[in-house]
Structure 1
């Protein structure tokens, strides 16, 4: 039987607003580099950052819970002017957070 993937816990937020600003900047860079730099990317990054920041302010430290929160709340966002979807954005948030923690995200390691 396959072993469950261990959860990743972020350190408690020292400054959730600063973390959210960091995420907004990094996510917008990622969105701009993946396809084309477009103004919609600014709005997507801002919205995802708001969700992340709010959950961090509420004390959330579980990476999976944070990614699911972004996914769930971005489902109501209008992606019709974007190359992206809520799934791509939530996955990118997870990847950026793992990178910031120095955790290799390839092959479940």
Structure 2
């Protein structure tokens, strides 16, 4: 199979759908854990927590391999998304990236033009 931008995009889309499905499955497990006997709930909680952490690491590693910037505000790292471009009169030039979880960005406040609305999450 030839490596093309279209193939990479299709693979990334499939991986994203897989991550979403796994997260939904972990949600089902989280809900079902409450139906377990009390002595099994702690072990189930720990297993779910470890699975969520491993999933987040895998998601960040895939994003990094696709060229996304990662925020180091926590571990596992959070994926940063392009939200605008820097003011050419400032020190930071080019695209500005923002942490999708905490809102940190790669430019100083008011030093860039926002092209994507602020996330409501």
Please give the TM-score of this superposition, normalised by the length of structure 2.
0.29
Greater helix share, structure number: 1
Q: Bigger relative contact order, structure 1 or 2, given CA contacts below 8 A and separation 6+?
A: 1
Greater strand share, structure number: 2
Please give the TM-score of this superposition, normalised by the length of structure 1.
0.32
